Amino acid sequence: MTQAPTRMAPPERPPSPCINVCSLDEKGYCIGCLRTGAEIGRWLAMSGEEQWRLIAELEERRKLKR
């Protein structure tokens, strides 16, 4: 007997990357979390998957800022 495929649960939402240092730099990135104003505004409307994807992108941005 074969089992029906199970749906994967959506990933849990990550905590907000906000560290309460909120000011946009000359490139439009928050100096605290490195999100753009648009990304900050959309954070709550994003799916958990979108949020995790953005978290990964923020890690790459941090590497580039060094």
Note the pLDDT tens digit of each residue in 3-54.
666 666 556 899 999 999 999 999 999 999 999 999 999 999 999 999 999 9
Per-residue pLDDT at 66 exceeds 90? no
Mean per-residue pLDDT, 53-57: 96
The encoded tokens of residue 17 equal 């990357």
Task: Kindly report the pTM of this predicted structure.
Answer: 0.78
Maximal CA-CA distance, the chain:
61
Yes or no: say if 11 and 52 are a contact pair by the CB < 8 Å rule: yes
**Residue 65 has what pLDDT?**
80
C-alpha span between 29 and 61 (Å, rounded): 10
Yes or no: say if 40 and 31 are a contact pair by the CB < 8 Å rule: no
Q: Residue 31 contacts by C-beta under 8 Å, 6 or more apart in sequence?
A: 21, 23, 24, 25
